């Protein structure tokens, strides 16, 4: 067995108390939710913490609710809870579809959407999709709350903009408009996705008014660009002809490298395959 | 051949009786070594080398040893008083690195502590100073003129039969083992050939990935050495431990409870010497439980780079095959020398080829030591062998299935000089596979079919003994050295005993794999248990029956000739007695027992090697996503030429299990080294077959012609359907796309790249 | 590494019975089950939440007990393989189906496999083949090639079409 090194667990009763505990522990402490990423890294001795602050004891962070413009998912809501949420299914079906295929059934039962984003593992399904959906997260600390979009939140591999004494309290995802067409598709051979492609379109008949394409897992953080999205807007027939150009541009932004998941060249190729597939799926 | 009864005559044998270990395994009550605790038991954790090749300058264990709860730290400097080298082929493997490390992950020190966490936490306080040496990582590097030598002395031979300890270690090169076979005149045949195919093929290093990682609990005391281990071959481990501690055989005891998967990876000695040395040094029982990731740094399979050419005459008859194989054996020989020999032989395939020359070399390198893995070198060479059959058929415009049938070895034919003539019916097997695949119908668009086959000269060496105890109540205990790895020995052996003794299956129980109690059995591997232990079981039962006939004659005061054996007992005139009555009357008490024994050796029906040919045909239909290169297996067919299935459900279970492992190596599995570092030594990156990969349509077939040397004509099974799977995948891809891929596994990217290169042409 | 040992007084329901056990904060549920409560049916293999050998059910949901902190079980209902058969020894239908369909060989993955199957069938009593594969895909078996396991689950669901062995 790989034993975990000794640590203590704090049980904050409020966001403020959690932030204080984190501030108190400094580098020796870390926020802990589902533990599906953190505890693995600790078991492998890649990370060492003396204190874990259990965010799950903070009340009211494990709820899904529908607001005027947003679907709100609390920081400690599990993948499974999103997968099975009627609200999520109604207001953001693409999210439910994505969550249904995150990791395996056990990880979905304990892992949280918030934890997934905060750990910023580069092969994250939610990060890619939520960036495409234009979601933002709420972050709270001793000095109050701030709002970050996903691009601001995730700085790089395992790096976020959340300060050591801050915690994420939830995610807001814009509600699906009637005109929104979205798809998330991934190519996965091993335990984590080789590539994830999220595409969100705003359509009006045969016209794509705007588009947001994100490729995940092939770079340290999910990649997108305004330039790509611009190529993907226009009449459906025109966009179809420009899909290869958009893919090429998106691959360029992502700038993948060779690793065990595949060569950079192969990943660039897959961007094209899955942009096309996601386009078809989104509009089907 | 023990073949009096014909298929259809059997009462217990040849029936799909539920597994004897079923209840224990579905309720969590089955005990594996990882579940065992001894009173006073300490735990060991291992510090491993970060370097592929380095001198150990010094090891300072004082800080680690001083930590609370730590009993001590064992290093290669603390082994005076025992013989620390072991090995099945040659004794080249120190139980802890001595003076030098030879691969990343090699054990350098072991902390023994009150519990696992304490031992683990002490590891980082051990200070080791190394002086790095130039590593040798590949065949090419090993062969280079100025290559550093991994080993510079000649070793004592291990227990491997027929192997004289003639590795070239210490003889100025890194060649670990060479093996050659040759008959006919290859050069002449290729000159006169009507068509020839030639190519270079690569089959990767793989890991067997048993779910249970290596684990051993050792208790070394004044009475000797007792080790509980997850070993497949307890008697082979005993052989090594006896030499390490210089003890008589009677003072070394190996106990093997249920084993959580082996597939060859738990063949021969692994971590038992280290656990035992820890117990010896710190004078208490010690448990050493590796993690899966450590297990992946303990054993792997040999890879093989094979150059091969095969020729036909104008009639489509295969007239010659030649191959040169280079294998990477890693830092220590383990059982690889036998893998080299077997892969050499298995290049020939199940075909009658008049001119053959195979040259095979394995090399020591600074990588994880390679050893046995299910199929034993056969998969490595069946990729080239069966690929070339398809390539040749395509070249001469023949159907590949018909081409195989036409060249198939025939039953009774001595197709491999000096070996046992072929026993099997390959044409029948291939016909069944073709029918199951609807070979004559074209595959749907984007799909293709393939049929392939293999035969293995079984590695099973005939040296087996057993005893059965018939108790006074008529129940029976089998004492067998065969280990229950999941293959079903605890079910199959009682089936045979129940059949022979004419008693219900439920009355026969098994005591297995305790070298202090169960008679010697050489190993549990190479598909040998049914054939060899099964034959011993018949002999032991019959010997017990003979004894009971004599007892009955004594009790009834008749001559033994007047006694007739009937199911479950005897008849003498009007009188019938069952076994219980005979024993009870003989002892004049309802107690006591009769012990039947049997010894199998290389003689009689097992005089000729191999003791059987393991012959299997397989077929697949695959779908290829040409955009991503991803292959899905839609249909899978296996045809096991098993002689007779003692338990058809278990035999089929072996075939589908092995075929699935074969699909893993055909599609995904390979250990990837970047320099000296194993890059995917974890299930996160080492891709095993999963539920998703199973074919939607599956047809498992058994061919039962009772033509083997084993019990009732049975032959071994359980490895064969793995061997041809990678070739099947490659052949199907070639049929679908016209692209021949000679490198396993056929990962999506590899397939995509090959298709892309073809388009560029 | 901290020297502060935090003892968690853990109370939960295990296989229908209340248990109370003291453990350290960093202990996993598998460690508590296997080492403190001597229930060794839960097996440890990959330790990275991939293979499923250590699967137990917490409030009916499958979790990887090798990396789930025992602390998380407080107040919850935990089911391990030892809790499936009835006290009189009658096997759970899934256990019986695994025996009938030869759905294991070495048996090391079997406790986790059976509990995952239970979680599936509890929420979806008649899963399609695709649903079975999707749910079970996170459990690894090296012996059987999975096909008999799918059959065993289908048998319990009443959707097994062909008879295999007479």
CB contact under 8 A, B120 and A2: yes
Determine which of C45, C106, C138 to mutate to test the interface with B (most B C-beta atoms within 10 Å): C106
Q: Which residue in A6, A190, A263 is closest to B684 by CB distance? A: A190
Checking ipTM against 0.95, whether it exceeds it is yes
Using the Cα atoms of residue C41, residue C42, residue C47 and residue C53 in order, give the sign of their dihedral: positive
CB contact under 8 A, A1 and B687: no
**How would DSSP label each residue in B425-437?**
-HHHHHHHHHHHT
What's the pLDDT band for B167 if we cut at 50, 70, 90?
A: low
What does the buried/exposed string (b/e) look like for B435-451 if buried means 16 or more CB atoms within 10 Å of the residue's CB? ebbebeeebeeebbbbb
* Cα pseudo-dihedral B19, B23, B26, B29, rounded to 10: -120
Mean pLDDT in residue range C90-110: 98
Same domain, A220 and A258: yes
Gyration radius (Cα) of chain C, Å: 17
Q: How far is A246 from chain C (nearest CA, A)?
A: 32
Instruction: Give B157's strand partners.
Output: B90
Using the Cα atoms of residue A109, residue A110, residue A115 and residue A121 in order, give the sign of their dihedral: negative
- Say whether pLDDT at B548 is over 70: yes
Mean pLDDT in residue range B654-658: 98
CB contact under 8 A, A105 and C135: yes
What residues in A contact C116, CB-CB < 8 Å? 105-106
Question: Helical H runs in B399-488?
Answer: 400-407, 426-436
Q: State the total domains in chain A.
A: 3
CB contact under 8 A, C40 and B28: yes
CB contact under 8 A, C135 and A36: no
In a domain, A2, yes or no: no
Q: Which stretch of DSSP H or E encloses residue C24?
A: strand C17-24
**Predicted local confidence at residue B80, as pLDDT:** 97
What does the buried/exposed string (b/e) look like for B167-186 if buried means 16 or more CB atoms within 10 Å of the residue's CB? bbbeeebbbbbbbebeebeb
CB contact under 8 A, C40 and B209: no
For domain C93-157, say whether CATH 1.10.150.120 is its number: yes
| DSSP classification of residue B409 | P
**Predicted local confidence at residue B2, as pLDDT:** 46
Q: How far apart are CA A3 and CA B117, in angstroms?
A: 6
Give me the residue spans of the domains in chain C. 7-83, 93-157
Mean pLDDT in residue range B25-49: 98
Same domain, A72 and A164: yes
B676-733 per-position pLDDT tens digit: 999 999 999 999 999 999 999 999 999 999 999 999 999 999 999 999 999 999 999 9
What residues in C contact A1, CB-CB < 8 Å? 31, 44, 47, 66
CB contact under 8 A, C1 and A28: no
CB contact under 8 A, C68 and A35: yes
Q: Is A51 on the interface with B (CB under 8 A)?
A: no
What residues in A contact C63, CB-CB < 8 Å? 106, 109-110
Nearest to B723 by CA among B640, B642, B635: B640
CB contact under 8 A, C102 and B30: no
**Predicted local confidence at residue A269, as pLDDT:** 98
Task: Return the residue of C nearest to B121 by Cα.
Answer: C1
B272-289 per-position pLDDT tens digit: 999 999 999 999 999 999
Bridge-based pairing of strands B318-330 and B355-364 is: parallel
CB contact under 8 A, C98 and B291: no
Bridge-based pairing of strands B370-371 and B300-301 is: parallel
Q: Which of residues 91-150 of C touch B (CB under 8 A)?
A: 91, 95-96, 98-100, 102, 104-111, 114, 129, 132-133, 136-137, 139-150
Mean pLDDT in residue range B81-95: 96
Percent of chain B with pLDDT over 90: 95
CB contact under 8 A, A192 and B289: no
Q: Which residue in C4, C5, C138 is closest to A104 by CB distance? A: C138
- Say whether pLDDT at B3 is over 80: no
| DSSP classification of residue B188 | H
What residues in B contact A189, CB-CB < 8 Å? 630, 668, 687, 747-748
Nearest to A93 by CA among A101, A83, A103, A102: A83
**Predicted local confidence at residue C2, as pLDDT:** 61
Mean pLDDT in residue range C6-20: 97
What does the buried/exposed string (b/e) look like for C1-21 if buried means 16 or more CB atoms within 10 Å of the residue's CB? ebeeebebebebbbeeeebeb
Q: How far apart are CA A128 and CA A98, in angstroms?
A: 10
- Say whether pLDDT at B164 is over 70: no
Same domain, A201 and A259: yes
Nearest to B586 by CA among B577, B576, B597, B596: B577
Q: How far is B124 from chain A (nearest CA, A)?
A: 11
What residues in C contact B694, CB-CB < 8 Å? 133, 145-147, 150
Q: Is A80 on the interface with C (CB under 8 A)?
A: yes
B503-531 per-position pLDDT tens digit: 999 999 999 999 999 999 999 887 899 99
Nearest to C144 by CA among B530, B486, B453, B45: B486
Residues in Cβ contact with B604 at an 8 Å cutoff, skipping those fewer than 6 apart:
none
Q: Which residue in A28, A43, A110 is closest to C47 by CB distance? A: A43
Percent of chain A with pLDDT over 90: 98
Mean pLDDT in residue range B16-32: 98
What's the pLDDT band for A70 if we cut at 50, 70, 90?
A: very high
Do A86 and A181 touch, CB atoms closer than 8 A? Answer: no
**Predicted local confidence at residue A191, as pLDDT:** 95
In a domain, A109, yes or no: yes
Alpha-carbon distances of B543 from B9, B537, B565, rounded to whole Å? 22, 10, 13
C116-152 per-position pLDDT tens digit: 999 999 999 999 999 999 999 999 999 999 999 999 9
- Supply the mean pLDDT for chain C: 95
CB contact under 8 A, C143 and B261: yes
- Boundary of a domain, candidates A133, A153, A174: A174
In a domain, A3, yes or no: no
**Predicted local confidence at residue B169, as pLDDT:** 72
B623-655 per-position pLDDT tens digit: 999 999 999 999 999 999 999 999 999 999 999
**Predicted local confidence at residue B648, as pLDDT:** 98
Gyration radius (Cα) of chain B, Å: 27
Q: How far apart are CA B388 and CA B321, in angstroms?
A: 10
**Predicted local confidence at residue B161, as pLDDT:** 66
Same domain, A71 and A167: yes
Nearest to B160 by CA among B236, B84, B269, B49: B236
In a domain, A98, yes or no: yes
Percent of chain C with pLDDT over 70: 96
- Supply the mean pLDDT for chain A: 97
Task: Return the residue of B nearest to C33 by Cα.
Answer: B35
Q: How far is C15 from chain B (nearest CA, A)?
A: 13
In a domain, A179, yes or no: no
Nearest to B157 by CA among B166, B169, B147: B166
B210-249 per-position pLDDT tens digit: 999 999 999 999 999 999 999 999 999 999 999 999 999 9
Q: Is A102 exposed, middle or buried (0-12, 13-18, 19+ CB in 10 A)?
A: buried
Nearest to B494 by CA among B114, B87, B32, B13: B13
Same domain, A158 and A207: no
Nearest to A197 by CA among A172, A224, A173: A224
**Predicted local confidence at residue B527, as pLDDT:** 85
Nearest to A23 by CA among A168, A213, A163: A163
Give the class (CATH, top level) of C7-83: alpha beta
Domains (ranges, CATH) in chain B? 22-26+461-605 (3.30.365.10), 31-375 (3.90.1170.50), 377-458+610-760 (3.30.365.10)
Do C115 and C85 touch, CB atoms closer than 8 A? Answer: no
Q: Is B145 on the interface with C (CB under 8 A)?
A: no
Same domain, A153 and A93: yes
- Supply the mean pLDDT for chain B: 96
Q: How many CA atoms lie within 13 A of B114 on its CB side?
A: 5
Q: How far is B455 from chain C (nearest CA, A)?
A: 21
Q: Which stretch of DSSP H or E encloses residue B491?
A: helix B489-501
Determine which of B752, B755, B759 to mutate to test the interface with A (most A C-beta atoms within 10 Å): B752
- Boundary of a domain, candidates A121, A139, A174: A174
What residues in C contact A43, CB-CB < 8 Å? 47-48, 67
What residues in A contact B684, CB-CB < 8 Å? 190-192
Do C9 and C73 touch, CB atoms closer than 8 A? Answer: no
Range of the domain at A35: 8-57
CB contact under 8 A, A35 and C69: yes
Same domain, A74 and A169: yes
Q: Which stretch of DSSP H or E encloses residue B187?
A: helix B186-191
Task: Return the residue of C nearest to A191 by Cα.
Answer: C50
What's the pLDDT band for B172 if we cut at 50, 70, 90?
A: confident
Q: What is the CATH number of the domain that holds A154?
A: 3.30.465.10
Q: How far is B250 from chain C (nearest CA, A)?
A: 30
Q: Is B121 on the interface with A (CB under 8 A)?
A: yes
Q: Which residue in C1, C46, C91 is closest to B292 by CB distance? A: C46
Q: Which residue in A3, A187, A191 is closest to B684 by CB distance? A: A191
What residues in B contact C42, CB-CB < 8 Å? 28
Percent of chain A with pLDDT over 70: 100
Angle at B603 between CA B601 and CA B604, to 5 degrees: 125
- Boundary of a domain, candidates A57, A75, A90: A57
Phi, psi of C152, deg, nearest 5: -60, -40
What residues in A contact B120, CB-CB < 8 Å? 2-3
Q: How many CB pairs under 8 A join A and B?
A: 39
Q: Which residue in A190, A266, A269 is closest to B685 by CB distance? A: A190
Q: Is A104 on the interface with B (CB under 8 A)?
A: no
Q: How far apart are CA B519 and CA B538, in angstroms?
A: 15
In a domain, A145, yes or no: yes
CB contact under 8 A, C145 and B263: no
Mean pLDDT in residue range A100-125: 98
Determine which of B44, B116, B120, B672 to mutate to test the interface with A (most A C-beta atoms within 10 Å): B120
Q: Is B69 on the interface with A (CB under 8 A)?
A: no
Determine how many CB atoms are found less than 10 A away from the CB of residue B652: 27
Q: How far is C135 from chain A (nearest CA, A)?
A: 6
């Amino acid at each position: 067995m790989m034993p975990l090194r000794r640590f203590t667990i704090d049980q904050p009763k409020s966001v403020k108390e959690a932030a204080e505990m984190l501030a108190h522990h400094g580098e020796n402490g870390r926020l802990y939710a589902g533990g599906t990423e953190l505890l693995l890294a600790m078991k492998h001795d890649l990370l060492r913490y003396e204190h874990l602050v259990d965010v799950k004891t903070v009340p009211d962070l494990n709820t899904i609710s529908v607001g005027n413009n947003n679907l709100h998912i609390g920081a400690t809501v599990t993948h499974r809870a999103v997968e099975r949420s009627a609200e999520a299914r109604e207001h953001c079906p693409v999210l439910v579809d994505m969550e249904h295929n995150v990791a395996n059934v056990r990880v979905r039962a304990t892992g949280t959407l918030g934890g997934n984003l905060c750990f910023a593992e580069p092969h994250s399904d939610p990060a890619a999709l939520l960036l495409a959906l234009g979601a933002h997260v709420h972050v709270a600390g001793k000095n109050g709350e701030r709002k970050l979009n996903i691009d601001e939140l995730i700085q790089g591999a395992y790096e976020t903009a959340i300060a050591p004494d801050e915690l994420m309290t939830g995610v807001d995802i814009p509600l699906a408009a009637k005109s929104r067409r979205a798809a998330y598709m991934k190519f996965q051979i091993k335990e984590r996705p080789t590539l994830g492609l999220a595409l969100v379109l705003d359509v009006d008949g045969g016209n794509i008014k705007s588009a947001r394409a994100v490729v995940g897992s092939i770079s340290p953080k999910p990649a997108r660009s305004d330039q790509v999205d611009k190529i993907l807007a226009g009449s459906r027939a025109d966009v179809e002809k420009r899909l290869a150009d958009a893919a090429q541009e998106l691959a360029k932004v992502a700038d993948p490298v060779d690793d065990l998941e595949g060569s950079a060249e192969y990943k660039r190729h897959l961007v094209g395959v899955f942009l096309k597939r996601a386009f078809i799926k989104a509009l089907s | 051949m023990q073949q009096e009864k014909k298929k259809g005559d059997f009462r217990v044998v040849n029936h799909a009786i539920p597994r004897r270990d079923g209840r224990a395994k579905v309720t969590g009550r089955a005990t594996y070594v990882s579940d065992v605790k001894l009173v006073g038991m300490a735990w060991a954790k291992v510090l491993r080398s970060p370097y592929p090749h380095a001198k150990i300058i010094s090891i300072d264990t004082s800080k680690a040893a001083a930590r609370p709860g730590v009993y001590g730290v064992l290093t290669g400097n603390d082994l005076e008083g025992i013989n620390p080298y072991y090995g099945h082929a040659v004794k080249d493997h120190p139980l802890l690195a001595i003076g030098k490390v030879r691969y990343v992950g090699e054990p350098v020190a072991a902390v023994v502590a009150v519990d696992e966490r304490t031992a683990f936490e002490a590891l980082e306080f051990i200070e080791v100073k190394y002086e790095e040496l130039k590593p040798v990582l590949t065949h090419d590097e090993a062969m280079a003129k100025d290559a550093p030598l991994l080993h510079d002395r000649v070793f004592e031979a291990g227990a491997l039969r027929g192997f004289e300890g003639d590795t070239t270690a210490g003889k100025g090169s890194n060649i670990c083992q060479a093996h050659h076979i040759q008959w006919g005149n290859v050069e002449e045949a290729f000159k006169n050939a009507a068509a020839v195919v030639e190519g270079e093929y690569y089959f990767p290093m793989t890991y067997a990935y048993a779910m249970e990682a290596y684990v051993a609990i050792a208790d070394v005391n004044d009475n000797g050495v007792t080790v509980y281990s997850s070993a497949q071959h307890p008697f082979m481990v005993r052989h090594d431990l006896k030499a390490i501690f210089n003890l008589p055989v009677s003072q070394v005891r190996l106990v093997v409870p249920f084993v959580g998967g082996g597939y060859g990876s738990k063949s021969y000695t692994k971590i038992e010497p280290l656990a035992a040395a820890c117990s010896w040094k710190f004078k208490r029982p010690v448990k050493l439980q590796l993690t899966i990731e450590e297990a992946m740094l303990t054993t792997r399979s040999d890879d093989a780079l094979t150059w091969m050419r095969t020729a036909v005459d104008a009639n489509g008859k295969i007239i010659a095959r030649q191959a040169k194989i280079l294998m990477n054996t890693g830092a220590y020989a383990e059982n690889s020398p036998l893998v080299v020999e077997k892969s050499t032989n298995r290049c020939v395939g199940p075909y009658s080829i008049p001119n053959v020359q195979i040259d095979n070399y394995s090399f020591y390198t600074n990588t994880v030591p390679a050893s046995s893995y299910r199929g034993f070198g056969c998969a490595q060479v069946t990729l080239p062998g069966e690929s070339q059959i398809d390539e040749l058929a395509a070249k001469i415009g023949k159907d590949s299935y018909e081409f195989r049938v036409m060249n198939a070895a025939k039953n009774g034919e001595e197709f491999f000089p000096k070996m046992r003539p072929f026993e099997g019916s390959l044409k029948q097997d291939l016909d069944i596979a073709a029918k199951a695949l609807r070979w004559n119908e074209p595959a749907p668009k984007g799909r293709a079919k393939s049929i392939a086959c293999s035969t293995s000269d079984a590695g099973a060496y005939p040296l087996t003994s057993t005893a059965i105890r018939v108790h006074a109540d008529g129940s029976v205990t089998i004492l067998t050295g065969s280990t229950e790895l999941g293959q079903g020995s605890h079910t199959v052996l009682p089936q045979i005993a129940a059949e022979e003794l004419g008693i219900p299956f439920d009355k026969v129980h098994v005591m297995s794999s305790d070298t202090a109690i169960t008679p010697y059995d050489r190993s549990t591997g190479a598909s040998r248990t049914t054939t060899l232990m099964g034959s011993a079981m018949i002999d032991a039962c019959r010997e017990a029956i003979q004894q009971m006939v004599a007892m009955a004659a004594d009790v009834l005061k008749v001559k033994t000739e007047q006694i007739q054996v009937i199911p479950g007992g005897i008849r003498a005139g009007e009188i019938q007695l069952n076994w219980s009555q005979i024993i009870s009357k003989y002892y004049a008490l309802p107690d006591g027992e009769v012990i039947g024994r049997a010894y199998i050796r290389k003689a009689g029906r097992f005089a000729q090697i191999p003791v059987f040919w393991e012959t299997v045909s397989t077929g697949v239909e695959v779908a290829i996503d040409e955009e991503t290169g991803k292959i899905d297996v839609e249909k899978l067919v296996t045809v096991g030429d098993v002689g007779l299935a003692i338990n058809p459900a278990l035999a089929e279970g072996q075939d589908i299990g092995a075929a699935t492992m074969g699909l893993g190596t055909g599609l995904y599995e390979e250990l990837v080294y970047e320099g000296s570092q194993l890059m995917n030594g974890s299930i996160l990156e080492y891709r095993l077959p999963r539920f998703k990969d199973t074919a939607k349509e599956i047809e498992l077939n058994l061919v039962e012609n009772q033509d083997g040397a084993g019990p009732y004509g049975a032959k071994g099974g359980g490895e064969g359907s793995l061997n041809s799977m990678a070739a099947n995948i490659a052949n199907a891809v070639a049929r679908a796309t016209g692209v021949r891929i000679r490198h396993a596994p056929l990962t999506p990217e590899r397939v995509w790249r090959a298709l892309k290169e073809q388009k560029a042409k | 590494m901290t020297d502060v040992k935090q003892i968690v007084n853990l109370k939960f329901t295990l296989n229908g019975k209340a248990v109370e056990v003291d453990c350290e904060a960093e202990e996993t549920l598998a460690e508590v089950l296997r080492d403190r409560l001597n229930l060794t049916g839960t097996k440890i293999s990959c330790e990275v939440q991939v293979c499923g050998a250590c699967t137990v059910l917490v409030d009916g949901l499958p979790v990887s007990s090798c990396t789930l902190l025992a602390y998380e079980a407080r107040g919850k209902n935990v089911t391990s393989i030892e809790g499936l058969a009835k006290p009189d020894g009658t096997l759970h239908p899934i256990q019986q189906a695994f025996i009938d369909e030869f759905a294991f060989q070495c048996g090391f993955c079997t406790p986790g496999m059976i509990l995952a199957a239970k979680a599936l069938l509890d929420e979806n009593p008649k899963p399609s083949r695709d649903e079975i594969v999707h749910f079970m895909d996170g459990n690894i078996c090296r012996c059987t090639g999975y096909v008999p396991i799918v059959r065993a689950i289908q048998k319990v669901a009443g959707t097994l079409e062909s008879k295999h062995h007479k």
